[in-house]
Structure 1
Amino acid sequence: MKSLTRREFSWGAATALFATQAFLNSPRAHASDPAETDLTKLTLAEASARIHAGTVTSTQLTKACLDRIAIYDPKLDAFITVMRDKALAQAAILDAEQKAGKLRGPLHGIPVALKDNIDTAGTRTTAASGVFQDRVPAEDAPVTTRLKAAGAVIIGKTNLHEFAMGAGEASFFGAARNPWALDHNTGGSSSGSGAAMSADLCYGSLGTDTAGSIRNPGAFCGVVGIKPTYGLVPIRGIAPLCVSLDHCGPITRTVEDAAMMLNVLAGYDHLDITSVEHAKEDYVAGMKQPIKGLRLGIPIGAFDGVDPQVGQLVHTAIELLATLTRGVKEVSLPSTNDVAYQNFASMGETFAYHEQFFKLQSNRYQPVDRRRLEAEEATHPRAEDYIRLRWELETLRRTIDDAFTDFDLVLMPTQKVTAPVLDDMLRRNLQPTTTPLTSSSTAGGGSSVGAYNAYGIPSLTVPCGFSKEGLPVGLMICGPHFSESKVLALAHAYEQATAWHTMKPPITPDTVVPPLITHL
């Protein structure tokens, strides 16, 4: 791809605006005005403003979410545990504080959901596995503690691919379904968090991301998801998949909502071996910085193998952003093939956590994940090989920022395909010789998301359109270490120039739930 100038993108910007308007005028579009509908349609920022203005209470917001969960979660399987009584009790305490004029911050009274691999004291945390079916942790994970201290109401624990080991289709509690099409995948492994946000079941959610597991559900469900810089948000108290690549971050309806949550989540934890010290930032303020001076890049190969519909929508989004910045050109980033998740898994990093459970309860794992762990157990990796792999990863992370010399941020499709059909994924997993699909290699196409886990740099997905079948498509924006504010600012500018984030899935109380295959 040749370098692209502002002049060359001028026609494309008009195309982007035309495409947006065409979608808004189509029967498939469903936008809602929060002022005229129920409370669950509010964004986190809007709900927060009403809490602070005293025009709504936390109990009202919490009950509205619980009522909607009761209607729609039986169709979506977005939640494993709904914490109704605890959430209402927490909301009552926060309402008393609100009445006394003691607001803890922007998240005061806001119902949020946590991926069910994140510990919640006194509430079971299953990681969507029969192995942990009855596990109740004694302590909160640090991210849980921070959200509670900020006044967030923990409304429930969301579904995921078992132990976050795949693309969302294998869960002890059944696969979560995509609100845009119930027979399609939500993206994994934070499948329930993506579905819950898309269906307005809460105002914010947490996911984890080892090879795309925040951004893929964001893209497939038409919402925002950000994987921050490695170590910026602590992962202690979260069941690990691969500690060297694991991240935790928010999945939300808008970029501003993500920035608000990141303000609470980010910070050093000296007991977390992955945690890094970084000066406190206000990501909401950073999100508002001007973007006209930003130089954008498209990594070589970012569009290789992309579905034509996805490619066109993402290209149109990039064309629009080119008119708002200094322009876009093709750029080169280092290869991550040698330090991908599959390499670390084969070197035993995933099995290191599961060994104690697998030896005693291997039959309680989902069949496809059991096969993966059996394969990893059988490899008997050499310590020398693993150490060399870690050296390569550390070198990559120390040098990746050097690639950002004459560009500030990079752009590409989050996923190169739209959400796959769940039955296709389940059918593949029922084959006795297959291993699970990772989050970064969902059925039907590949992705570049996992590279940014290896780089350890911030990466965000924002909705940028819909396929002709009505399935969401995501644009991914990434930058060097600790460039979250720039990434958020560019995503926010795009969001403000388009209307994709206002679209709502067509699910209704009468929507029929299609059956899923259970055997071949």
Structure 2
Amino acid sequence: MHHHATTPQSRRTRAARALLGTLLISCSLTKIAFAVPTAEQDRLAKLTLAEAAAEIRSGKVTSTQLTEASLARIETYDPKLDAFITVMKSQALAQAKALDAETKAGKSRGPLHGVPIALKDNVDTANARTTGGSALFAERLPAEDAPIVTRMVAAGAVIIGKTNLQEFAMGGGESSYFGPARNPWNLAHNTGGSSSGSGAAISAYLAYGAIGTDTGGSIRMPASFSGIVGIKPTYGLVPIRGIIPLRVSMDHAGPMTRTVEDAAIMLNVLAGYDKLDITSVENAPKEDYVAALKQPVKDLKLGLPVGYFDYLDPEVKEAFYKAVEVLNGLTSGSKEMYLPAAPRPLNGAAETLAWHEDYVKSSAGSYMYPQRRRLEALAKDGGGTAVDYVKGMWEVQLLRRTIGDHFEKAGVDLVIVPTHRILPPKIDDLLTKAYSSNPTDPSITSNCWPFNLFGLPSISIPCGFSKDGLPIGLMISGPRFSDGKVLALANAYEKATEWHKRQPPLTPDTTKPAVKKPL
């Protein structure tokens, strides 16, 4: 047996290593102790937007305290959720400080004053990178804020950060350059897309409201999968200028929140004409959406559109029909009716290519494989002919003008359907599909996209959970500019049920399962 002589040098090294070890252990412990939000921070973070605003107005709490509560939640939970691409810590704290000074001087900018809000990272911000979830734009700093950001900031919102999304909003949320956002109810599952990070952030109390965008369901699908509220307003009501487009003729932006009232508060700030936005509607009726929540719903007649109830997961079906019973009790009842079949194929390919064409030519390798494959296929056939596109647009415009007639003919005010026909899938299963040789069309499982085509206001709210604790969403839609009525029915249902009060089983110790590394 050999004995190693312990020289003073090696003893010192050992002692230093031991000390370093203790320091590392204590550092990591203090790090954890520091990172875990205090009980008061958790209480603040879990307030609704309306409650948080009321506490600021009454002087009970400062914007700085709310912002620190959100940042503490982000620090603890975002490493598990990947809800954020960029956390705007110093800017948010500076904004909060300035707003606190205003509060002290007796000034309030309204119900968003001092409240932390997150933005999907396809919405331009001049003081933070806007990536679109892509390596292509990993360091892109826009020249100016999108108009909806200007509106939010003017209304006193504290911009806490930019949330994760499916690369360039092209799909279900599993494929982002920054890794997929995780579902707070079960981290192995998808949070819905493309506004995946916004859904996760609101569900896990990392912010009080978020902006999502919706081209074929990208606000409502994550709202459904994350157990929160998300509204796609009437097409053209909220400006989309300064948002990286997917299909301009189908793109919408809107609020994602924990309650219907919170969504109404945000929509009041977001809605309104923008002359430089070609989609923006000049003569949209002015409405106070918070006031609209109070309208009676007992005389409303509800439609169950045929064809939206095929292939339902049994648990989705059960939760939905229980929701219909509740809604029947709140209104004058529901009946079967028909909405027009959506024309397919649509005109959208050329629109998507119009924006991406130069990037695909110069930097195809910067896209992730599923999106690159899709764009290269479009580039090959030029996105269809100009004639196809024009014919498609004529059809869409006629459909949008006449869609209201279908509600009138059936004698219904609003329609109700399950938001999604399936439960939130596993991220691994979605990645397998996205990278397989023949990816399946995800729209079959969703009831969302026809309402983008119709351009109608459409909200998803929680209406139940599967036996494994995964959220299920109910969608309410109405004719053009019936946004207030849609919100009112959603609010009445929320008040009659408890689903919005349930909290995801997320703790600082929850382990984050690995997902497949796509090639």
Q: Indicate whether the TM-score tops 0.5.
A: yes
Are positions 1:106 and 2:111 aligned together? yes
Structure 1 residue corresponding to 2:389, chosen from 386, 389, 397: 386
Corresponding residue for 2:314? Answer: 308
Deviation at 1:61, TM superposition (A): 0.1
What is residue 240 of structure 2 aligned with on the other side?
235
Q: Give the conservation status (yes or no) of the 8 Å contact 2:42–2:73.
A: no
Q: Which of residues 249, 269, 274 in structure 1 aligns to 2:274?
A: 269
1:248 aligned counterpart, secondary structure: strand
Q: Does 1:453 align with 2:452?
A: yes
Equivalent residue number for residue 465 of structure 2: 466
Match of 2:361 among 359, 362, 371: 359
- C-alpha distance after superposition, 1:328-350 (max 9, x if no partner): 00011111133xxx62333x110
Residues 1:81 and 2:86 are matched in the alignment? yes
RCO (CA 8 Å, sep 6+): is it higher in 1 or 2?
Answer: 1
Structure 2 residue corresponding to 1:189, chosen from 189, 194, 198: 194
- In the alignment, what sits opposite 2:330? 324
CA contact (8 A) 1:466 1:473 kept: yes
Q: Does the CA contact (< 8 Å) of 1:166 and 1:437 recur in 2? A: no
Aligned mate of 1:62, from 64, 67, 90:
67
Q: Matched residues in 2 for 1:243 and 1:435: separation?
A: 24
Identify which of 112, 124, 131 aligns with 2:129: 124
* Cα distance in 2, alignment partners of residues 58 and 356 from structure 1: 43
- 36 and 131 in structure 1: CA distance in 2 versus 1, 3 angstrom threshold: closer
Using the alignment, how far apart are the partners of 2:294 and 2:278 within structure 1? Answer: 32
CA contact (8 A) 1:105 1:150 kept: yes
Alpha-carbon separation, structure 2, partners of 1:369 and 1:260:
35
Q: Could you say if the C-alpha distance between residues 396 and 239 of structure 1 is closer, same or farther in structure 2, counting changes exceeding 3 Å?
A: same
Instruction: Identify the residue that residue 496 of structure 1 maps to in structure 2.
Output: 495
Per-residue Cα deviation, 1:295-354 (whole angstroms, up to 9, x for no partner):
00100012111001101101110111101111100011111133xxx62333x1101100
User: In the aligned structure 1, how far is the partner of 2:161 from the partner of 2:511?
Assistant: 24
Which residue matches 2:295? Answer: 289
SS at the partner of 2:191? coil
Count of aligned pairs: 477
Which residue does 2:31 correspond to in 1?
none
- 1-structure distance, mates of 2:107, 2:143: 29
Instruction: Indicate whether 1:260 and 2:262 are aligned.
Output: no
CA contact (8 A) 1:220 1:418 kept: yes
Conserved? CA contact 2:417–2:474, under 8 Å: yes
Q: 1:169 to 1:305 in 2, by over 3 A?
A: same
Q: Deviations over 1:8-67 (max 9, x none)?
A: xxxxxxxxxxxxxxxxxxxxxxxxxx9995210100000011011111000000000001
Distance 2:328 2:45 in 1: 34
User: Which residue identity is paired with 2:450?
Assistant: A
Q: How far apart, in 2, do the equivalents of 1:518 and 1:434 lie?
A: 19
Aligned to 2:342: 336
In the other structure, the counterpart of 2:21 is: none
Q: Which amino acid aligns with 2:347?
A: F
Per-residue CA deviations over 1:355-387 (Å, capped at 9, x if unaligned) read 121111100000010000011111232111110
Distance in 2 (alpha carbons) for counterparts of 1:316 and 1:175: 32
Aligned identity (percent) is 60
Which amino acid in the other structure matches residue 121 of structure 1? A
The question of 1:415 aligning with 2:420 is answered: yes
Gaps of 5+ in 2: 1-38
Does residue 218 (structure 1) correspond to residue 217 (structure 2)? The answer is no
CA–CA distance in structure 2, aligned partners of residues 214 and 122 of structure 1: 24
The residue type paired with residue 499 of structure 1 is E
Change (3 A) 1:489 1:289: same
Cα 1:387–1:110, aligned 2, differ >3 Å: closer, same or farther? same
Measured in 2, the distance between the counterparts of 1:210 and 1:434 equals: 23
- Letter of the structure 2 residue corresponding to residue 144 of structure 1: V
Match of residue 49, structure 1, among 48, 54, 68: 54
RMSD: 1.3
In structure 1, the residue matched to 2:375 is 373
Question: In structure 2, what is the Cα distance between the partners aligned to 1:326 and 1:280?
Answer: 27
The structure number with the bigger radius of gyration is 2
Give how far 1:404 is off. 1.1
Equivalence for 1:350: 352
Task: Give me the whole-angstrom Cα distance separating, in 2, the residues matched to 1:95 and 1:403.
Answer: 50
Q: Which amino acid aligns with 2:311?
A: G
Amino acid at match of 2:394: W
Aligned letter for 2:351?
Answer: E
Q: Distance in 2 between matches of 1:230 and 1:303?
A: 25
Distance in 2 between the 1:434 and 1:101 partners? 60
Cα separation, 2, equivalents of 1:143 and 1:375: 33
Please tell me whether the aligned partners of residues 368 and 434 of structure 1 are also in contact (alpha carbons under 8 angstroms). Answer: no
Contact map agreement 1:345 1:376 (CA 8 A) in 2: no
Q: What are the Cα deviations for residues 266-291 of structure 1, in whole angstroms up to 9, with x where unaligned?
A: 00000000000213210000011100
Query: Tell me, what secondary structure is at the counterpart of 1:182?
Result: strand
**Could you tell me which residue of structure 2 aligns to residue 487 of structure 1?**
486
In structure 2, the residue matched to 1:16 is: none
Compute the displacement of 1:429 (Å): 2.0
Give the Cα separation in 2 of the matches to 1:360 and 1:302.
Answer: 41
The code of the aligned residue for 2:380 comes to A
Counterpart AA for 1:449: C
- Aligned equivalents of 2:330 and 2:185: distance in 1? 30
Contact 1:161 1:189 in 2 (8 A): yes
Deviation of the 1:249 alpha carbon: 0.2
- What is the letter of the counterpart of residue 499 of structure 2? W
- Aligned with 2:97 (options 92, 98, 115): 92
List per-residue Cα deviations over 1:90-130 (Å, max 9, x = no partner): 00000000001100000000000000000001210000001
